[in-house]
Amino acid sequence: MSILEDYGRVAGPDVIAQICQLAAPLAGARIVHVNSTRTGGGVAEILTKLIPLTRELGLDARWETITGNSAFFECTKGMHNTLQGNRVPLDENLLRVYEETNARNAEVLRPVLEDADFVFIHDPQPAPLLGYCPNRKGKWIWRCHIDASHPYRPVWKYLHRFVAPYDASIFSLAAFAQELPHPQYLIPPSIDPLGDKNMELEPGKILQIHDKYGIDPHRPLLVQVSRFDRFKDPVGVIEAYRLAKCFLPDIQLVLAGGGATDDPEGEVVLKEVQNAAQDDPDVHVLLLPADANVEINALQRAATIVLQKSVREGFGLTVTEAMWKGKPVIGGDVGGIRLQVMNHHTGFLVNTPEGAALRIRYLLHQKEKLLTMGAKAQSFVRDNFLITRHLREYLTLMVALLHGARDRIELG
């Protein structure tokens, strides 16, 4: 069975038929996606499945990554943080490393990039590559996965010079879009329902996770899965758990974070979280390897409630993953979480640890409500946030770019 047929069983055959028809005018197009890591983080996860799916449609898609040293990733992490609002100037030396690294990578990638019909550059790390490909033939699209709604202006100004010459950019939400002299498409990311992180699991697999980490399967479990990053507010989650535990002494908490090769700050934040946990036997802080997708899947399925108490968030794919598993989500009232968590329908939006604690208590006292909200959450993801929808929008964007800025494009 083909990959497309596999997805048809989850998303519906009509969805696949539509994607095939949309891909037809693009048959044979050479498409290159570039990011900075093959493992860890939402971008790598999406590309892992998006590339083979695109290839099966008859498009010549490939995925390239740029390489860099620790100074490069220190710079791009800083850039990531400042674009999300941290007001810290970037060191001139690090910026030089950033540009030199891109120049060096361009030497290797130039033939592929200049020859491509469409080049998708993901996030700021490889953004300067366009400037090193003067003989490019195709359309270049900068895909920003970050909540850049309130960037630290000097850093945005610096990045703007690399991004402005692109043919188009893509943001996850309208609120994240910045002033740029080209069309700015709005495409939320997606999850892969058949990947290790989201596929159905045998009940035994979930029980194994309980055993492995000493979690009591008979007591309510709160789970937050995300990198150990201050924007994800893991310490705030522990605070919310403590406030709720005064009323619900049975509750347990798992904070599970995967590492990503382009995130040098993770270790520092992990230590802060371990300190905040203070050896509470019901708080499990788990640093999981980047490929622990099945474990993350099992943890999310084992959860009674999933939290994503971010204070800044690009989109929040962990929210989508949890909802796909039928869990209500208590999420920070920021970024793409707002697009997914509908108060009283698929979960609750909160602003403080106190707010999160209140909603934990509410849901654990309203078990019927908890189940209904979980079911609604799953259905909402099926209709809107699976990779098939993402692929369709990329195809639509490519067709649209070939036909100019018209509002209505009639093919055939």
Partner 1 sequence: MASSDPQDSGAFAIKDCALVALATGRKARLLQEFRRELEGIDIACIYHHFWGGLLQPRFDEREYNNDFAAWVRHGIHDAVLAERLSALVPASYPDLEALRHEIIDLVDERMDEVEHLFWTRATLQFEFVRSQIVVFDTERQLQHPAELAAVTRELSISSIFYHFIDARRRTLDGRDDFSDWLTAFGDEFTPLQERLAGIDPYFSNLGELRDELAQLFSLHIQEAAQ
93: contact with partner 1 by CB under 8 A = no
Look at the block and give the residue holding tokens 């596929």: 199
Pick the piece of the chain touching partner 1 (CB under 8 A) from 22-30, 71-79, 237-245, 294-302. Answer: 22-30
Name which of 143 and 301 has its Cβ closer to partner 1. 143
Pick the piece of the chain touching partner 1 (CB under 8 A) from 65-73, 88-96, 322-330, 339-347. Answer: 339-347
* Cβ at position 318, least distance to partner 1 in Å: 17
* Cβ at position 379, least distance to partner 1 in Å: 8
**Which among 242, 327, 225 has a CA at the least distance from the CA of 277?**
242
Contact in structure between 259 and 286 (CB atoms under 8 Å): no
Instruction: Report the DSSP beta bridge partners of residue 262.
Output: none
What track of x and - describes contact with partner 1 for positions 360 through 389 (by CB under 8 A)? --------------------x--xxx---x
Name which of 202 and 410 has its Cβ closer to partner 1. 410
Name which of 23 and 47 has its Cβ closer to partner 1. 23
411: contact with partner 1 by CB under 8 A = yes
Name which of 358 and 377 has its Cβ closer to partner 1. 377
Residue from 35, 65, 105, 346 touching partner 1 (CB under 8 A): that is 346
* Cβ at position 176, least distance to partner 1 in Å: 8
18: contact with partner 1 by CB under 8 A = yes
Contact in structure between 127 and 142 (CB atoms under 8 Å): yes
Q: What backbone torsions phi and psi does residue 311 show, to the nearest 5 degrees?
A: -100, -15
Give the C-alpha separation, 309 to 132, whole Å: 39
* Cβ at position 344, least distance to partner 1 in Å: 10
Token pair for 54 = 């695109």
Token pair for 13 = 């055959």
* Residue 114 vs residues 32, 38, 137, 331: alpha-carbon distances, Å: 10, 22, 6, 42
Beta strands per DSSP E along 36-176: 60-65, 118-122, 139-144, 168-171
Look at the block and give the residue holding tokens 């159905």: 200
Give the C-alpha separation, 47 to 81, whole Å: 23
Name which of 24 and 103 has its Cβ closer to partner 1. 24
* Cβ at position 183, least distance to partner 1 in Å: 6
Instruction: Report the DSSP beta bridge partners of residue 142.
Output: 121, 169
Q: Report long-range pairs for 151-158 (Cβ below 8 Å, ≥24 apart).
A: 151/82, 151/83, 151/84, 151/85, 151/178, 152/82, 152/83, 152/85, 152/86, 152/87, 152/88, 152/89, 154/89, 155/79, 155/82, 155/83, 155/89, 155/90, 156/82, 156/83, 158/90, 158/95
Beta strands per DSSP E along 208-304: 221-225, 252-258, 283-288
316: contact with partner 1 by CB under 8 A = no
* Cβ at position 305, least distance to partner 1 in Å: 19
Name which of 21 and 93 has its Cβ closer to partner 1. 21
352: contact with partner 1 by CB under 8 A = no
Residue from 5, 9, 17, 369 touching partner 1 (CB under 8 A): that is 17
* Residue 345 vs residues 71, 223, 335, 363: alpha-carbon distances, Å: 44, 19, 18, 12
Residue from 4, 7, 22, 98 touching partner 1 (CB under 8 A): that is 22
155-194 positions binding partner 1, by CB under 8 A: 171, 174-175, 177, 179, 183-188
Name which of 156 and 385 has its Cβ closer to partner 1. 385
Name which of 94 and 400 has its Cβ closer to partner 1. 400
Cβ neighbours, 10 Å, residue 5: 11
Pick the piece of the chain touching partner 1 (CB under 8 A) from 17-25, 28-36, 156-164, 257-265. Answer: 17-25
Token pair for 233 = 């507010």
Instruction: Kindly determine how many residues on this chain lie close enough to bind partner 1 according to the rule CB under 8 A.
Output: 44
Name which of 175 and 207 has its Cβ closer to partner 1. 175
400: contact with partner 1 by CB under 8 A = yes
DSSP state of 127: G
Name which of 90 and 349 has its Cβ closer to partner 1. 349
**Which among 243, 190, 232 has a CA at the least distance from the CA of 43?**
190
Q: What backbone torsions phi and psi does residue 267 show, to the nearest 5 degrees?
A: -60, -40
Longest dimension (CA), the chain: 65
* Cβ at position 376, least distance to partner 1 in Å: 8
21: contact with partner 1 by CB under 8 A = yes
End-to-end CA distance of the chain: 30
Binding site residues, partner 1, CB under 8 A: 14-15, 17-18, 21-22, 24-25, 171, 174-175, 177, 179, 183-188, 339, 342, 345-346, 380, 383-385, 389, 392-393, 395-397, 399-400, 403, 405-412
